Amino acid sequence: MGRYKNPVWIIGSGRSGSTWLLELIGSQQTYRILFEPFHSKYVTEANFLKNHFYLRPGDVHPEMEHLSKIIFTGNCNFKRVDMYNRSKFYTGLLIKDIYANLFAKWVYEKFPDLKIIYLIRHPCEVAVSKYITRNFKWLEDPSVLLQQKDLYEDYLAPYSSLIHKIVSENDYILNQVLLWSIINFVPLKQFKKDDIHIVFYENLLTDTEKCLNDIFSFIYDGKKTGQINIDNHLIGKPSSTVFNKNKEFTAPPLNRWKDVCSKYQINKCSEILDEFGLSNLYGDDGLPLADIPDILNQKSD
């Protein structure tokens, strides 16, 4: 694919730890890093994209085809996107995005050699983190996704009443958990287990080295990649992103959300996850409990 072999694409929701994962993977070799190249607010070439844009796999979309091609072949030159890069020589291409879940399958069909690392973090923790950083202007009304005709027809029609009901409560945490459910439900329905590599943030935090070994095994199709060497300051501590230096970015407790969310919010969040068939992802202790092939609809063919 272009000048880079095995380009790696990290996808996931905002506040899921994707920048930290980017830095962990990037510390292992000289990657050219592309930071959120599909971000419509900061990348002029991506300004045609709606917030959490859905693209039906197989559809023709010339603008998206052009943008994807220059990104995944490394032929783009966007100032903000390239901010991590200081070298002139790179051995790989590493991309990360937080608004790509709903078109990731479309991209994968166009670029089947792409190595997709799909990061998942507990929805309540994501919601709390977004609440703390709400000055980032996160999407607060998930019902706007119902306006995307193809997304509505393909996935959201059965959930329309639920979405309107939750949004009517005007609860920031519930709205973020609802959004999390939508943008994770879709790719988990679309992808087969061998297409992508799922990483749980909680596992990455508690067993960083094993997670990285598994990631590189996926990237290199099971071939031995050598010893993982991680800088101590990167282990167990999420990144301080270029945007913020506040306390929220030091590693929070895994179950911080239990202290922040009310009992009502926690119960409603459980109901939302159950409606989308996602209640098997996490246990009451806030840790992942699902087997990855089961998450992906047990699709292995």
Domains of the chain (ranges, CATH numbers): 8-295 (3.40.50)
Q: Is residue 287 a contact partner of residue 181, using CB atoms and an 8 Å limit?
A: no
pLDDT in tens, 174-201: 999 999 999 999 999 999 988 999 999 9
Averaged pLDDT, 100-108? 99
Q: What's the CA gap between 268 and 167, in Å, rounded?
A: 12
Residue 1: what pLDDT? 57
Averaged pLDDT, 47-67? 97
Rounded to two decimals, the pTM is 0.91
Task: Quote the longest CA-to-CA distance of the chain.
Answer: 53
Element (H, E) at 119: strand 115-120
What is the four-CA torsion angle of 155, 158, 159, 161, rounded to 10 degrees? Answer: 150
Neighbouring C-alpha atoms within 13 Å toward the C-beta of 83:
13
Q: Report residue 240's pLDDT band, with 50, 70 and 90 as the boundaries.
A: very low
Side chain identity, residue 134: R
Q: Which long-range contacts (CB under 8 A, 24 or more apart) does 42-47 make?
A: 42/80, 42/81, 43/78, 43/80, 43/81, 45/70, 45/76, 45/78
Averaged pLDDT, 240-258? 59
**Which letter does DSSP use for residue 62 in this model?**
H
Checking DSSP bridges between strand 115-120 and strand 196-200, what pairing results, if any? Answer: parallel
Q: Is residue 14 a contact partner of residue 97, using CB atoms and an 8 Å limit?
A: no
Is pLDDT above 70 for 243?
no
Is pLDDT above 50 for 247?
no
Q: Mean pLDDT across the chain, nearest whole number?
A: 89
Residue 228: what pLDDT? 76
More confident residue, 291 or 117: 117
Q: Is residue 183 a contact partner of residue 102, using CB atoms and an 8 Å limit?
A: yes
Q: Report residue 85's pLDDT band, with 50, 70 and 90 as the boundaries.
A: confident
Q: Is residue 258 a contact partner of residue 161, using CB atoms and an 8 Å limit?
A: no
Q: Is residue 144 a contact partner of residue 51, using CB atoms and an 8 Å limit?
A: yes
Residue 244: what pLDDT? 46
Is pLDDT above 80 for 235?
no
